[in-house]
Amino acid sequence: MTDASEIEAAAGRLQGALIALESAVERRIDHERGHASLASQVDAFDADRARLAAELDGAVARSRRLEAANREVTRRLDEAIETIRAVLEPRNRQG
């Protein structure tokens, strides 16, 4: 091989290596963009999860308060019914 052909062959190999390197860099950049996008989505999911957890906690607390109020209303209604029965019972005996 002559010096000129060796230089041309080396230049061809260098050109091929540069093309391969450029391609690898582009793939890496695309990968990093994809990774950044996934990280952003994970952050958004974490924020949604935290918001939903807080809403659920609030809903559970409200449900417990409503259940307690319901029990209190039921107790008071039972007392009122018993009071009414106690008032009406002597009248029913006389009647």
pLDDT digit string, tens, across residues 5-42: 999 999 999 999 999 999 999 999 999 998 999 999 99
Residue 92 has pLDDT above 80, yes or no: no
pLDDT of 31: 92
Dihedral, CA atoms, 17, 23, 29, 35, nearest 10 degrees?
Answer: -110
- Spell 11-29 as b/e; 16+ CB within 10 A means b: eeeeeeeeeeeeeeeeeee
Mean pLDDT of all residues in the chain?
A: 93
